[in-house]
Amino acid sequence: MSRGSEVLIDKRLFNLPGMRRYVIILGILVFLQAIAIIVQARYLSIAIVNLWNLMPIGSIILPTSIFTVAFLCRHLLTVWQNRVLFPFVEKTSGDMRESLMAKIFRLGPAEIDKRGTGNIVTMALEGIDQVQTYLMLVIIKMLDMSITPWLILIYILFIRWEQALFLFIIFPVIILFMVILGLAAQSKADRQYEGYQHLSNHFVDTLRGLSTLKQLGLSKRYANNVYSVSESYRTETMSTLRIALTSTFALDFFTTLSIAVVAVFLGFDLLDGKVMLLPALTILVLAPEYFLPIRNFANDYHATLNGKNAMSAVLDVLHQPEMKQRDELPDFKWNQDSMLTLDHVNFTYPETTQPALKNISVTIKGMQKIGIIGASGSGKSTLINLIGGFLSPDKPDQVAIDGHKLPHLDQAAWQKNFLYIPQNPYLFHATLADNISFYVDNASKQSIEDAAQRAGLTEWIKRLPAGLDTMIGEGARTVSGGQAQRIALARAFLDTDRKVLLFDEPTAHLDIETEAALKKDILPVFSDHLVFFATHRLHWIGEMDYVLVMDHGKLVEQGTPAELAQKNGDYVKLRSEMEASDL
């Protein structure tokens, strides 16, 4: 059983706050319930035996009443157990949900991206629900299994030790067979489950690739492929299922047959006069109750397993290390004299060996416009993410602001100073005005309108049904890539406190006309700001004061565009590779 319990129980379960106390209270309730079960069986048997002795109906009133009370107690105790446990489970899972939210915030976008937004959201919603079900199931079931059968067994021992011995011996035999047949089969079934996921993915895969199949003229024919894959999966599943179900069959077979055997032996003993009907009947009534907890435990194997895995996954995220020392940097405002230093910075992504940034040294002072260029994979975005504090350098004290050496740039005081504008700025499901004023508390309507005007949104807003109050984002009005950039731009115009702008390929996916129009509106925001602008659209370089050229994670050249053009080095080479010929 130890293997089984390990499979179904995460050890961290017992470290949940308050767990010990609840286990004791529930243990007492389960104990009382086991007594109710015995009383119920005893008095039902008495009533039956009285009738068997052809006694009048009056003789069964008392035993039937006691049976009734015991029966009701037993089931009320079930409700009671649940009611006692539920507040604990509710609080634990509720707390877990909130800690998960807080953790998501602290882990930041880079880490969440790695795990997949869908996974995290599903975890917070369905994962926690599964944890709740798991906690409700597993605690009571475990206690039930470790108390009820043994109490019943002791009682039977007092009535007739031979049957008690038989039931006692058969218990480990059942478990042994379950383990032998079950574990082998179960691991196969688990693999089958993976196979199932695979098939289900194959199906989704096919549906997603449908337009490609249509392009290739294969889509009609593929229907038969879908069917035959599914059918071969069925044959495979059935062959595994035949073995997998033997585990349940073994349990079922032994428990049912044990009851039959008990009945038959009791029959023979009665025949020989070795035992009276009342004790025999009591044992027969109790025999199924003896096996009930283990059957219950085995029945919801998959539900319990899913719950356990869900809980382990949640706990893993909660125990994920996060960036600490977020308040090393005192509050400050970026100004003409501020200075950001990167001193031989290396950065390696977790689970990789090659650093993505190698030995980057650069000093930035005051309000400048810094272009970052390079081929894809050269480390432009990684550098921007490191400056934004979403990634932490391999070693501490390699970055500094105004001479304060810092472990990383995930500093609350630094984050108050910049805005980050990626390729696809995220638009919240909210009004346009709320989206623009996301970074500014209590922005006046007038100031929002001004910012929108400067970002070139006015014409578009006029055409919207509710103007600035129109809902945008997921599930509401869709916004084109160009307008999304303008909304991000309006945020920058509105928030005059943030003097640093981090652009990561803001126009890469826009069509050339939209980009040309957008450029006109972006340029004014550059003045009086420190700008980092990672791009592979070369025309932006003309607007920069200083250029960093990246190649394979290294900073291969830096200087003003004019200096670099004269050098005839990496910058010139990169430009010639990217540039189209004359017409």
Partner 1 sequence: MKGLRETFAHDTWVMPYLRKYKGLLILVLFLGFMTFFSGGALMFNSGYLISEAARQPSSIIYIYVPVVLARAFGIARPTFRYIERLTSHNWVLKIVSDFRKKLYQTVERKASAIQRSHQTGDILSILADDIDHIENLYLRTVFPMVIGWLLYLFIVIGVGSLNWVVGLLMLLLLGIIVIVLPLASVATNGVREYRQHQIQHEFYTNLTDEVLGLGDWLISGRYDDFINLQKKPIKQIAQLRKKDHYFQWWRSFFVQFVVLLTTITLLIWAANSFTATKSLANWVAAFALAIFPAVSPFLNMSQGLSEWPVYRRSIERVNQLDRDQPAKVDQNQLEGHFKELKIANVTFKYPDGDRNIVNDISMTIHPGEKVALLGPSGTGKSTFLKLLVGDLIPNDGQILANGKDVSSLQKVRSSLFGILDQQPYLFDTTVMNNVRLGNTNATDDEIKDAIAAVGLKDLIESLPDQYNTEVQETGKRFSGGERQRLSLARILLQDAPIIILDEPTVSLDPITEKKLLDQVFDLLHNKTIIWVTHHLAGIAHVDQVRFLENGHFDMQGTPQELYQQEPRFRQLYDLDRGK
Q: Footprint of partner 1 on residues 534-573 (CB under 8 A)? A: 536-539, 541-542
Distance CA 361, CA 398 (A): 9
C-alpha gyration radius of the chain: 35
Contact 524, 537 (CB under 8 A): no
Contact 440, 494 (CB under 8 A): yes
Candidate list 18, 27, 94, 330; residue touching partner 1; CB under 8 A: 94
Q: Footprint of partner 1 on residues 274-293 (CB under 8 A)? A: 276-277, 280-281, 284-285, 288
What's the token pair of residue 432? 């346009």
Distance CA 390, CA 382 (A): 9
Q: Footprint of partner 1 on residues 325-354 (CB under 8 A)? A: none
Query: Interacting stretch for partner 1, rule CB under 8 A, among 15-23, 160-168, 227-235, 455-463?
Result: 227-235
CA 79 from centre of chain: 31
Residue of 347, 485, 325 whose CA lies nearest to 411: 325
Q: How far is the CB of 11 from partner 1 (least distance, A)?
A: 26
Q: Footprint of partner 1 on residues 357-376 (CB under 8 A)? A: 375-376
What does the per-residue mask of binding to partner 1 show for 301-320, with x meaning CB under 8 A? Answer: --------------------
Burial 75-109 (b: 16+ CB within 10 A, else e): eebeeebeeebeebbeebbeebbeebeebbeebbe
Phi-psi label, residue 198: left if phi above 0, alpha if psi -120 to 50, beta otherwise: alpha
Distance CA 292, CA 286 (A): 10
350: phi then psi, degrees, rounded to nearest 5: -60, 150
CB under 8 A, 24+ apart: contacts of 240-244: 240/188, 240/189, 240/192, 241/189, 241/192, 243/184, 243/185, 243/188, 244/185, 244/186, 244/188, 244/189, 244/192
390 is a contact residue toward partner 1 (CB under 8 A): yes
Candidate list 109, 195, 467, 559; residue touching partner 1; CB under 8 A: 109
208 is a contact residue toward partner 1 (CB under 8 A): yes
Query: Interacting stretch for partner 1, rule CB under 8 A, among 21-29, 43-51, 348-356, 446-454?
Result: 43-51
Query: Interacting stretch for partner 1, rule CB under 8 A, among 309-317, 347-355, 395-403, 478-486?
Result: 478-486
Q: How far is the CB of 2 from partner 1 (least distance, A)?
A: 26
Distance CA 57, CA 342 (A): 95
Name which of 312 and 424 has its Cβ closer to partner 1: 424
Name which of 95 and 397 has its Cβ closer to partner 1: 95
Strand partners, 246: none
237 is a contact residue toward partner 1 (CB under 8 A): yes
Distance CA 152, CA 286 (A): 7
Name which of 129 and 343 has its Cβ closer to partner 1: 129
What does the per-residue mask of binding to partner 1 show for 239-258, with x meaning CB under 8 A? Answer: --xx--xx-xx--xx--xx-
**Length of the chain, please?**
583
Residue 559, CA distances (Å) to 122, 523, 566 in order: 47, 21, 11
Distance CA 572, CA 331 (A): 41
Candidate list 29, 30, 38, 48; residue touching partner 1; CB under 8 A: 48
- DSSP letter (8 states) at residue 477: B
Candidate list 197, 268, 318, 496; residue touching partner 1; CB under 8 A: 268
Query: Interacting stretch for partner 1, rule CB under 8 A, among 160-168, 177-185, 233-241, 397-405?
Result: 233-241
Distance CA 143, CA 93 (A): 20
227 is a contact residue toward partner 1 (CB under 8 A): yes
- DSSP letter (8 states) at residue 496: T
What's the token pair of residue 299? 């029945």
84 is a contact residue toward partner 1 (CB under 8 A): no
Name which of 168 and 439 has its Cβ closer to partner 1: 439
523 is a contact residue toward partner 1 (CB under 8 A): no
Q: Footprint of partner 1 on residues 54-83 (CB under 8 A)? A: 54-57, 60, 64, 68, 71-72, 75-76, 78-79, 82-83
CA 29 from centre of chain: 34
Burial of 502 (0-12, 13-18, 19+ CB in 10 A): buried
Name which of 337 and 474 has its Cβ closer to partner 1: 474
379: phi then psi, degrees, rounded to nearest 5: 110, 10
Name which of 24 and 54 has its Cβ closer to partner 1: 54
Residue of 100, 128, 130 whose CA lies nearest to 115: 100
What does the per-residue mask of binding to partner 1 show for 149-188, with x meaning CB under 8 A? Answer: ----------------------------------------
Q: Footprint of partner 1 on residues 402-461 (CB under 8 A)? A: 412, 415-416, 418-420, 422, 426-429, 438-439
361: phi then psi, degrees, rounded to nearest 5: -130, 125
Query: Interacting stretch for partner 1, rule CB under 8 A, among 181-189, 310-318, 444-452, 474-482?
Result: 474-482
Name which of 65 and 146 has its Cβ closer to partner 1: 65
273 is a contact residue toward partner 1 (CB under 8 A): yes
Q: Footprint of partner 1 on residues 111-130 (CB under 8 A)? A: 112, 117, 120-121, 124-125, 129
Q: Using CB under 8 A, count the residues that bind partner 1.
A: 146
Q: How far is the CB of 433 from partner 1 (least distance, A)?
A: 16
Q: How far is the CB of 175 from partner 1 (least distance, A)?
A: 16
Distance CA 58, CA 61 (A): 5
576 is a contact residue toward partner 1 (CB under 8 A): no
